[in-house]
Amino acid sequence: MPKVEITKRINAPQKQVWEFISDIEKAPEWVVVMKSLIHTTENPVKLGTVYHESSKIGLKKSKTEWEITYFDAPHMQAHECNESDFKATLKMRVEDNGDGTSILFHSTDYQLMPNFKLLGRLLETIFINRLMSKNLNQSVINCKQMIENKY
């Protein structure tokens, strides 16, 4: 699976960053590909939370189900999607710098066209990875700006 990783320093304490990224209802405001939250079993998220979202990656619109499969507050959480045409693991890790700032590590392993096997991997490598990297980077920038501006 292709992987995209982004790291940003955020001028806010770890607790504040953690609370922000754990508020799934705020996610459509900063996650570029997430157009709306359709349903969530709870907010803020915790281990076992399931949510449904409407998203758009490039020209493709979809509705996907995600589950929080790892949750170690206030350090790391993992969200997994296992749809027939899209598989992904999104991980967010927050580290305290000890000076009132935090580092947000955001990574996504994804497979957009699992049914296309070799052709799907080729298209992901040539086209989709650049788009996913751009979208994830902008999402983390949005997150940083919202936190630093106190939402």
- Domain ranges in the chain are 3-148
CATH second-level architecture of 3-148?
2-Layer Sandwich (3.30)
Q: Which of the two residues, 71 and 61, has the higher pLDDT score?
A: 71
Number of H helices, E strands in the chain: 4, 7
Alpha-helical regions (H) of 27-70: 27-30
pLDDT at 92: 95
pLDDT of residue 111: 66
Q: Report whether pLDDT(17) > 80.
A: yes
| Residues 46-57, mean pLDDT to the nearest whole number | 96
Answer yes or no: is pLDDT of 32 > 70. Answer: yes
Q: Which residue, 73, 77, 72, 149, is CA-closest to 108?
A: 77
What is the pLDDT of the chain when averaged over all its residues?
89
Check residue 8 and give its pLDDT.
94
Q: Is the pLDDT of residue 116 over 80?
A: no
Residue 114: pLDDT above 70?
Answer: no
Per-residue pLDDT at 124: 65
> Where residue 86 falls among pLDDT bands split at 50, 70, 90?
confident
Cα dist from 59 to 96, 128, 143, whole Å: 37, 11, 23
Long-range contacts of 87-95 (CB under 8 A, 24+ apart): 87/1, 87/111, 87/114, 90/66, 92/21, 94/14, 94/17, 94/18, 94/21, 95/14
Instruction: Identify the residue whose tokens are 């996907």.
Output: 64
**Mean of pLDDT values over 107-121:** 69
109 pLDDT exceeds 80? no
The confidence band for 113, taking pLDDT boundaries of 50, 70 and 90, is low
Give yes or no for residue 134 having a pLDDT over 80. Answer: yes
3-state secondary structure of 25: helix
ω into residue 28 within 30 of 0, thus cis? no
Report which of residues 108 and 43 the model is more confident about: 43
In this predicted structure, what is the pLDDT of residue 115?
64
